[in-house]
Amino acid sequence: MELYKENQLKVYNSLTKKKEDFKSITEGYVGMYVCGPTVYSNAHLGNVRTFMFFDVVYRYLLHLGYKVRYVRNITDAGHLENDADEGEDKIAVKARLEQIEPMEVVQRYTVDFHDVLKNYNFLPPSIEPTATGHIVEQIEMIKEIIEKGFAYEVNGSVYFDVHEYNKKENYGILSGRKVEDLLNNTRTLDGQSDKKNPQDFALWKKADEKHIMRWPSPWSDGFPGWHLECSVMSTKYLGENFDIHGGGMDLKFPHHECEIAQSQTCSGVTPVNYWMHTNMLLLNSQRMSKSTGNFILPNEILSGENDILPKAFSASVVRFFNMQANYRSILDFSGDALEASEKGHAKLMEAVTFLEKIEAKNESTFNVEAWKKDCYAAMNDDFNTPILISHLFEAVKLINQIKESNASLTADDLEEFKNTLNAFVFDVLGLMNENSQDSSEKINGVVELLIKLRKEARENKDWALSDQIRDELIALGIQLKDGKDGTTFSLN
């Protein structure tokens, strides 16, 4: 039986502002869309916190036995410098400053983004579509919105009519904002804008002469609005109604609000059943932001090449640090906090490593089944990783007691305990045991040294020493294979 049938997952829905029982639209299948990066610069750690949390969501859904289609987009066009549909495309600005092609900017920072996620042990999404790869579909959605009377064209640009939409639907249903309040808090249009109302947002923008990134459309040579791409790509790959949509809380308004309006206009149905939003990451108690210069890049943490932290920290420690706070709460990143997480991470990994040496006894002094239920209960409660980690440290305490001969487990309980602990530490949280990796690297280094010494012995026709090295390695379970390109080895 699949684990999801035994575990009732509860999810905090930003739309209803309460925890709800999770029920997928199609049993056994989950469709999840997460807004990805705009690739005009390196993603800082605050950005990565969101992707890291949804990596854990993805991992846990897979662990429960769901077949998950996880879509995370790449924004490589259409994201202007502010949310008022003004300014230049962020990628085009970067391209002009560096005097390179916009797609060179996109390639550089997409590769960097992937490198970061690989270093931090992320699972790749099922699909990673790009905005520029879906221009045709975006144009078709705009046509449909115009035909239904919820958009208008002015001077080659097309805008979504928020007031017309709000006559029948609720623009602000996700963020809790009201159009009337937005109007009162917005400057009157100065006559230079093509919009009917300040709240209206761009579906298509006519490109001026200096705008590098442009495509032909029925209205002008231009580019799609930023909000449109997510409606198009989520609908294309997950359908008009899908299970989970995630992102940072800063995207709730206007980006996700606009997505709902666009998608619902076209389909007539609620596009998403569960909206999930992560909270912000602070750096030394201040909001992490590139505009203020208060940020750190993920790879700077690994290298130690920064002016913020006292030393380098591993990717697994950073993951562990992030999971010690609920995703809906603000998390403050600092050197002291990372050093504390490093100590806790080391204790956890030391216990997991020692677990392999534990031998079964005739009786169990620990209720493995109750502990296992507690671990699942934590994750089933809106992916509550801090509570899960507290239960993992109950396991650490038990392992230390067994080490001191003050506790024991039967063979069946020991097997269940091992499987559960490893599943939550590595498969669900995505942590890495650097101790075991270091040991593996050391073993590889020693074997390579012995291969080198054996080669020198053979060159000196010292066949006895050469055979001795080979035979003793075989006795240790290490098989050498001589070939024309040199000697390789494998572990038996």
Domain that holds residue 349: 282-432
Last residue of a domain, one of 404, 432, 460: 432
Residues 21 and 140 in one domain: yes
pLDDT of residue 383: 98
Residues 467 and 385 in one domain: no
Q: What is the pTM of this model?
A: 0.87
Task: Return the CATH number at 303.
Answer: 1.10.730.10
Could you tell me what percent of the chain has a pLDDT over 90?
A: 76
The span from the CA of 99 to the CA of 92, in Å, is: 10
At residue 487 the predicted structure's pLDDT band, cuts being 50, 70 and 90, is confident
Q: pLDDT tens-digit profile of 46-72?
A: 999 999 999 999 999 999 999 999 999
Residues 298 and 269 in one domain: no
Residue-averaged pLDDT of the chain: 91
Residues 405 and 459 in one domain: no
Residues 477 and 417 in one domain: no
At residue 189 the predicted structure's pLDDT band, cuts being 50, 70 and 90, is very low
Residues 88 and 40 in one domain: yes
pLDDT of residue 476: 72
Task: Return the CATH number at 28.
Answer: 3.40.50.620
The span from the CA of 247 to the CA of 230, in Å, is: 12
**In this predicted structure, which of 51-55, 84-88, 106-110, 239-243 has the lowest mean pLDDT?**
84-88
What sign does the dihedral 232-39-277-431 (CA atoms) show? positive
Q: Which two tokens stand for residue 324?
A: 């010690």
At residue 442 the predicted structure's pLDDT band, cuts being 50, 70 and 90, is low
Last residue of a domain, one of 417, 432, 447: 432
Residues 140 and 20 in one domain: yes
The span from the CA of 66 to the CA of 68, in Å, is: 6
Is the pLDDT confidence value at 458 over 90? Answer: no
Give me the number of domains the chain comprises: 3
Residues 189 and 335 in one domain: no
Q: Which two tokens stand for residue 6?
A: 């035994």
Residues 229 and 377 in one domain: no
pLDDT of residue 191: 46
The beta-strand segments (E) located in 37-116 are 67-72
Query: What mean pLDDT is predicted for residues 297-305?
Result: 96
At residue 126 the predicted structure's pLDDT band, cuts being 50, 70 and 90, is very high
Q: pLDDT tens-digit profile of 244-264?
A: 999 999 999 999 999 999 999
pLDDT of residue 188: 46
pLDDT of residue 455: 84
The β-bridge partners of 247 are 277
Last residue of a domain, one of 245, 278, 311: 278
pLDDT of residue 449: 82
Residues 165 and 94 in one domain: yes
Residues 87 and 130 in one domain: yes
Q: What are the backbone angles phi and psi of residue 243, rounded to the nearest 5°?
A: -80, -60
pLDDT of residue 212: 83
Residues 324 and 451 in one domain: no
